[in-house]
Amino acid sequence: MAKVAEGIEKKPLAAEPNWIVRGGQWILGLPVRASSWVVAKARAARQFYEDVKLELQKVSWPTWKEVYAQTVVVLIVVFFFGFFLYGTNWVLGYLVNKLFEYAAR
């Protein structure tokens, strides 16, 4: 066991910095850590927007004629279902009222 311990250097206890020194070093290192964090986030944001730009170049955009045609279809479908649901609601409301009138007799 003594042979194993021969290769290990013993540091004096005074060489280890105390918690106040370590805390001061940590506080003094904050600007460096904060600036490197900001730089990393800025690089990540720049990369994100470059990727978005590349992806938007791959998009096949519709023509104005296609947009107009699809808008007309959507408006027709919305009005159709609006009137259909209005009529269904009116019919069901009428039937429920008649059912309650019949049950109240």
- Which structure tokens are listed for 17? 């910095």
Residue 6: its pLDDT value, please?
64
CA 34/CA 27 separation, integer angstroms: 11
Task: Give CA separation, 73 vs 67, 69, 70, 81, 84, in Å.
Answer: 10, 6, 5, 12, 16
Confidence bin at 29 (pLDDT 50/70/90) = confident
**59: helix, coil or strand?**
coil
Residue where the block lists tokens 């104005």: 64
Residue 38: its pLDDT value, please?
83
- The model carries a pTM of 0.46
Pairwise pLDDT comparison (68 vs 23), residue with the higher score: 68
Residue 87: its pLDDT value, please?
98
For the stretch 30-69, pLDDT in tens is 777 778 878 888 999 999 999 999 999 999 999 999 999 9
> How much of the chain, in percent, has pLDDT values that exceed 90?
58
Residue 48: its pLDDT value, please?
96
